[in-house]
Amino acid sequence: MKKVIVLTGASSGIGAATAKALSNSPHVLVMLARDVEKMKAIASEIDCISLVIKTDVTKVEEVNTAIETVVEKFGGIDVLINNAGIGYFDPIDEGKLDEWHTMVDVNIKGLLNITHACIPLLKKSENGHVINVTSVAAHQVFPNSAVYSATKHAVLAISKGLHQELQKDLKVTSISPGAVNTAFVDQTTNQEMISDLKAYFAKGMHPDTIAQQIIYAIEQPKNVTISEIIVRPGRS
């Protein structure tokens, strides 16, 4: 069944892998992120109807304009994949306030900006579905990632609230990955930690693994909701 799917963080990593996994599907894919060139390159490789819209999820006006554009072009939205996210790792007593604020702005407020714009449309859809990419850090607080973990706990709480209040109108899925080998870890500015972090994440899961979990949640029958998926690297 054809669904209009809005994917944030579509320019790299898990988002890019999800866009590619939707190739040859009957769905319409709307790709949102700030890096348009990267998204266009990904869109050129995929074989379903797609639209790229430059969107910073922290900017309410940009988010609302992007969603209005989707509605004008495609008439509504069925699936929102909240995947955009950022992580900075530091011991808490060395944390940088601007980095903490950015994580809150993107991971929580950005997710809320787009979710707020989409809820009325998802409620109208026969197939309304929110998929939030959170983290194992939503379930466990790891060293050097207290604030990142706090943002992902918030995403999980928002997912649970959406489900509790709107389960008659839409499906809600939380996907909590462990380490995935993407550019995610490159954001960290702590020079003492970066090489160990890179080595650790390089051994993580391939982003296609998470994309497959997202597709699995989307392709369930109408009367089945996958509420939560926790997926960690296995034995290597």
Write out the catalytic residue numbers.
148
- Among 135, 174, 188, 213, which residue sits at the site for ligand NJP (rule: CB under 6 A)? 135
Binding of residue 106 to ligand NJP (CB under 6 A): yes
Binding of residue 30 to ligand NJP (CB under 6 A): no
Distance between CA atoms of residues 124 and 78, nearest Å:
9
Question: At closest approach, how far in Å is the CB of 168 from ligand NJP?
Answer: 27
Contacts for 132 with CB less than 8 Å, ≥ 6 apart: 82, 111, 155, 156, 158, 159, 172, 173, 174, 175
Question: At closest approach, how far in Å is the CB of 41 from ligand NJP?
Answer: 12
Q: Which stretch binds ligand NJP (CB under 6 A): 68-76, 93-101, 121-129, 174-182?
A: 174-182
Q: What are φ and ψ of residue 7, in 5° steps?
A: -120, 120
Q: Which token pair is 94? A: 């060395």
- H or E stretch covering 168: none
Residues 182-221 that bind ligand NJP (CB under 6 A): 182-184, 201, 204
Task: Identify the bridge partners of residue 132 per DSSP, sorted by sequence position.
Answer: 82, 174
- Among 80, 130, 170, 180, which residue sits at the site for ligand NJP (rule: CB under 6 A)? 180
- Do residues 16 and 37 touch, judged by C-beta distance below 8 A? no
Q: Which stretch binds ligand NJP (CB under 6 A): 31-39, 64-72, 162-170, 224-232?
A: 31-39
Question: At closest approach, how far in Å is the CB of 75 from ligand NJP?
Answer: 24
- How would you classify residue 9: left for phi > 0, otherwise alpha for psi between -120 and 50, otherwise beta? left
Residues that bind ligand NJP (CB under 6 A): 8-15, 33-35, 56-58, 83-87, 106, 110, 133, 135-137, 177-180, 182-184, 201, 204
